[in-house]
Amino acid sequence: MPISNNDQDEFAAYLARYVSGANPKNALTPEQAAQGAHLCFVNTNELLIDARILAKEGRLCRALSVTVLALEELAKISELYRVAIESQLSSDAVDWKAFWKEFNYHKPKQKRATAYGNVIRGVLGEGNGLSNPLPYKSYFSDDTFGHLDKAKQKNFYVDFADGKFVAPRNDDNTQKILAELYGFVSERIDTFGSWHSSIDRNVTFFKVTTKQAKSFLESAALADSGLTSLNGWASTFTPEEVQADIIRLACYRSSGGVPDYYSFTPEMESVRGLTAENREAILAGVVGVLEARMATGEVLPQFGNRAFCMFKLMIHYGQNNLSKSEFNNIFPKLANAG
């Protein structure tokens, strides 16, 4: 029903209904945590797409602030994953009051997200220019998070600094910071795809991880649940889920100095859910995503270059494993150029 002109009370009531909703903030079931993690995954990706649109239009300040929002949404995923597992291991393992207190606070989320991957990096190292044991190329120091909220505010609002009012404005520093931050967030959300691209995948992943954790606690040995494989632990293989699996794999195998063709191509053959019937459609979807990413390479060079490396992995796989007609349908631009 439309709001009457100049009816301020009616608009206030309409706005109140728009933002209202019961939020008791109780303990979460694994299914609720799965839903939350999936929605945060989707929203992180959508925020990154919004930031790319802004960047392509030259709105670098706003793009930087929206990228910080994406980083904050990213942090919610790992926290929901943590509480989903811990709550199943012990009924009093999670301090739900503390969890909900921090859930919508910006700085704790910024701190968790910027540190993501640093622990494993310290254990495994960074490899060399040709290989990398981790899926990540970008890392931030421990004190980076302390500046992110100010950067976000700086690019949304007029401020008063150094004796004068300052409006958000693009400069070389804005573009450099945006490029670094965007590359950091995008490669991490890519690696989350196999687990969080659907609610079903989240539920299954929580279950097998909990089982593995319980086995470890009981026998001091990890159970063989297939968790270490790309999607061997999964029970659902929708086209969207398999596409997310392939993007995750391509992210892993493009983190070194050059694309790791040697590992990627045989690993693609082990991706469950990729069949002769759906292969062309799924691979075309992945290629479309990567082509859209490469189109932003001028304003987001790290992101564009990573997408190009992932794209080259797909080409190599296609040349060695697809028929000529399949290849031409999946890579029509290459076919037309040839």
Mean pLDDT of the chain: 85
pLDDT tens-digit series, residues 43-52? 999 999 999 9
pLDDT tens-digit series, residues 174-208? 999 999 999 999 999 999 999 999 999 999 999 88
Picking from 150-154, 155-159, 183-187, 214-218, which range would have the lowest pLDDT averaged per residue? 214-218
Categorize the per-residue pLDDT at 169 as very low, low, confident or very high, splitting at 50, 70 and 90.
Answer: confident
DSSP state of 161: E
Beta bridge partners of 164: 161
* Confidence check: pLDDT of 280 > 70: yes
Whole-structure pTM value: 0.87
* Confidence check: pLDDT of 225 > 50: no
Sign of dihedral through CA atoms 211, 212, 217, 221? positive
Residue bearing the bigger pLDDT, 337 or 152 = 152
* Confidence check: pLDDT of 74 > 70: yes
Buried b (16+ CB within 10 A) or exposed e, 207-236: bbbbebbeeeeeeeeeeebeeeebbebbee
Structure tokens at 270: 């082990």
Helix (H) or strand (E) holding 280: helix 279-294
- Is there a contact between 198 and 236 (Cβ–Cβ < 8 Å)? yes
Amino acid 303: pLDDT: 95
Categorize the per-residue pLDDT at 117 as very low, low, confident or very high, splitting at 50, 70 and 90.
Answer: low
